[in-house]
Amino acid sequence: MDQSTKEKFTVLRESYYLAGRTLMISSQFQAGLINLGYAIELSLKQMLLMAGEDPKKLFKHTLEKYYQSLLKYWPEFKISASSDFWNTCDRGLNSRYPMNLTRELEKDLANDTLWFIPIDLIHCYDDVILQMDEFLAETFDHTVCLGVRAEGNLQSNQGRTFYHCNDAAFDRRSYYQAKLEEGIDGSKKADFDIEELWNFEGLPLYRPWPWKKNWNPAAKYKFPKKENGKITAQAACWKANHGVSNCYANASFTPSKDGKVQLSVVQKPGKCSD
C-alpha cells in the first residue's frame, strides 16, 4: 500500500469513527452504528491490504469474515470480542438498507431476540476499533494511529470527540503520548485536565463517572434474548450537557411469537452497564 492510499484509509477510518461516536452521543443510534461499522470495516481492510490481500476479495461487508481472513496473516492477533458483538456489527452496518431491516426483524421474531441499541454500545465499538488501531500502529506505522492523531489535536473537535467518554482511549493515552513525542507532522502535545478531556461540552451528552480501566466490554457483549418469558436489557444513564433529556437507551421492539415483548431498562448509577 503506497503512502497516499494509506493516508486515505486512515482519514476515512477516522471520519467514520468520529462521526459514529458523535451520532451515538447525539441519540442517533441507528446512523451511529452504520458509521462505526464502516470504521471497523475500513480498519480490517486497511490491515488486509497492507498485508498483501487481493483487493478483489474485499468488496463485501462481512466484518467477522474479514477478521478471520486477517488471522491467516497474523494468527497471534486476537480481537477480544464476542460472536454476538460481531453479529451486531454486521447487523448495524447492513441496516443502511430497509430490506435488511425487515429480514433481521423476521429473524428476531423466530429467535425471540431483540434489536436493542443502548448508548452504552459505543463502548464496545471503542474497544474493538482501538484494539485494531493499536495493532495497525505497532505492525505498520504509528502515523496511521487514530489515537496519536487525536492526541496531537486536542484543541480541535477531532481530538475532543475521540476522547469524550472513551474508556479504551484513556487506557491507551500514555501510549499515544509516547508516540506523539517521537514527532509526527510537527504535532504538539496539549495539556488538558482529565475531567475536562473526559467530558467535551461540544457534545450533548456525557457519562457522569470516570473511565473504567482495563475494561473489555466487547468480549462480554450478549445480544438481548428472551429468557424466562421476557427480554431484559440494561442501560446506564448519560447526563445532558446542554439541557436536553438524559439518555438511557433506544430500541426497536420486536414482538415474540406470542405477540408480546417485555423490556426492562435498568438504570445503574455510577457505573457502566455490564
pLDDT of residue 163: 97
pLDDT of residue 165: 96
pLDDT of residue 260: 56
pLDDT in tens, 257-268: 555 555 555 555
Q: Phi and psi at residue 113, in whole multiples of 5°?
A: -115, 170
% of the chain residues with pLDDT over 70:
85
pLDDT band at 255; cut points 50, 70, 90: low
Residue 131: name the closest of 73, 78, 90 by CA. 78
109, 231 Cβ separation under 8 angstroms: no
Q: What is the pTM of this model?
A: 0.87
